[in-house]
Amino acid sequence: MPEMPEVETVRRTLAEKLTGCSIRHVDIKLPRLIKWPSANEFQAIITGKRILALTRRGKYLLLHLDNDIVVIIHLRMTGRLYYTTKNDKIDKFTRIVFELSNGDSLLYADTRTLGTLYAMPSEELWRISGLFSMGPEPLSDEFTEVYLVNVLKKSKSKVKAVLLNQKYIGGLGNIYVDECLAIAGIHPERTAASLNNLEITKLYGAINQVIADGIEHGGTTFRDYRDGDGKSGTHQHFLQVYGRKGLPCYRCGTPIAKAEVAGRGTHFCPQCQHKE
């Protein structure tokens, strides 16, 4: 479900509430979501530990505990992480309950159960390949226009596939990729290597702008996504193309098209986003 702006919003809405709390008990209702170590060991090494910080890398959330263990959470398509007070009801999609020392709980809910959780010492985080091999994030110092030029020029893939690939850029997902290609006026089926310098400059600006706006608006809620307080984001009201199939392009009025590109449903304006 969530892309970087959604995960960052979850982090921001939870960090202050969780920092300083201890994990009193862990109730694992769906053990197969725990990828490392076993569910029993996972429970054992985090129970009774205090939360020092909640950080993020790309679409991963990292809960740092006072015994040097880090709980790594990836929400995948439909994962939700949110805070509840003792009287709140737990829905049927709640898969893991972290009971806190103050009586409240941190819930991990997930309808499609594709999410993943790990717990390991901080010096072993490199074992998680998705974290280890992740490229720079939009808005970071490492994500420069020169970097983007190099990534695109040496690729044989379509530009959409490159932007979705976390090893090149960490944090973009299907919605925001469609949005930044629309803003930059680039057709999603173009090969990455075919983009000229002006197009790459536009794309670079669009990536940073779209991600900054997404965070500013607390993420995009289409169906499942909620922040750490269980609230929806508002960026869905600002989307140019995603979810707008058949509706008029805001720039030229042409109906927005939808096609499969790089294995994903892809929205674009056939007039403003040229194939060459």
Partner DNA sequence: ACAGGAACCTGATAGC
Partner DNA sequence: TGCTATCAGGTTCCTG
Question: What is the rounded distance in angstroms from the CA atom of residue 5 to the CA atom of residue 211?
Answer: 6
Known active-site residue 167: no
- Whole-angstrom distance, CA of residue 106 vs CA of residue 83: 5
For residues 140 and 274, give the distance between their C-alpha atoms in angstroms, rounded to a whole number: 29
Q: Indicate if 3 belongs to the active site.
A: yes
Q: How far is the CB of 149 from DNA (least distance, A)?
A: 16
Instruction: Provide the CB-side half-sphere exposure for 64 (13 A, CA).
Output: 13
Question: What is the DSSP secondary structure assignment for residue 163, as one 8-state letter?
Answer: H
**Identity of the residue, 243 or 270, whose beta carbon is nearer to DNA in the bound complex:** 243
Catalytic residue among 11, 59, 80, 158: 59
Which of 3, 6, 8, 179 is an active site residue? 3
Nearer to DNA, 24 or 245 (CB): 245
d(CA 59, CA 65): 19
Cβ 28 to DNA, closest distance in Å?
16
Whether 2 is catalytic is: yes
Specify the residue, 100 or 233, whose C-beta has the smaller distance to DNA. 233
Identify which of 42, 31, 16 has the alpha carbon closest to the alpha carbon of residue 104. Answer: 16
Nearest to 71 by CA among 80, 85, 60: 60
Closest approach, Cβ 81 to DNA, in A, equals 13
> Least distance in Å: CB of 105 to DNA?
21
Can you read off the two tokens belonging to residue 85?
């007070």
- Which residue lies nearer to DNA by CB, 38 or 102? 38
Cα distance between residue 170 and residue 249, in whole Å = 28
Give 114's contacts (C-beta < 8 A, 6+ positions apart).
76, 77, 78, 79
Catalytic site residue 264?
Answer: yes
Give the footprint of DNA on this chain (CB under 7 A): 1-3, 6, 32, 58-59, 74, 76-77, 92, 111-114, 128-130, 155-158, 161, 164, 166, 173-175, 219-225, 262-265
Shortest Cβ 220–DNA spacing (Å): 5
Q: Which is nearer to DNA, 42 or 218 (CB)?
A: 218
Please answer whether residues 44 and 60 qualify as being in contact, where contact means their C-beta atoms are separated by less than 8 angstroms. Answer: no
Question: What is the three-class DSSP state of 45?
Answer: helix
Q: Which residues are catalytic?
A: 2-3, 59, 264
